[in-house]
Amino acid sequence: MDSSPIPITVLLIDEYKEDRATLLRCFEEHGAGRFRVYEVSSGETALAWFRAVRPDCVVAELKFTDVIGMDLLSQLYAEMDGKPVLVFVWTRLIHTMLRKGASMLGVQGYFEKVKESERRMVEAILAAFGRTR
């Protein structure tokens, strides 16, 4: 019988291909086998993917060319329909009001895209799900 834990399903919403690749590498390095990650490259398609995947966790950038990031977060929370989904922000946008607004919505963690922030975020996700190394 396989006793390995069920992977955490993550919906990664980020327009920046390089940033998605960086984060995917980090998920693999620091959470080998603990994550199943689905990538979405636009805010516009994020809700459809959210409905289809029904993730345990969302990691979202707030800077998009097609939607307003905070509006997307609000829509995601409205879609949760009582299911507890942890949301983490990993963004290029550094603004106190965005951080405060995200926190008020219920965002679990807000990380600015700086060196090593992807590792700290993956560790925070693992800790939130009780799966530390």
Could you read off the pLDDT of 97-115 as tens digits, one per residue?
A: 888 999 999 999 999 999 8
The model's pTM: 0.90
* Residue 3 confidence (pLDDT): 55
How many whole angstroms separate alpha carbon 29 and alpha carbon 19?
Answer: 15
H or E element: which one contains 48? helix 43-53
Q: What is the mean pLDDT of residues 112-129?
A: 92
How many whole angstroms separate alpha carbon 72 and alpha carbon 76?
Answer: 6
Q: Does the pLDDT value for residue 83 go beyond 90?
A: no
Sign of the torsion angle spanned by Cα atoms 63, 66, 70, 75: negative
Residue 49, C-beta contacts closer than 8 angstroms, at least 6 positions apart: 11, 13, 38, 40
| Type of residue at 11 | L
The answer to whether residues 5 and 31 touch, using CB atoms and an 8 Å cutoff, is no
H or E element: which one contains 42? none
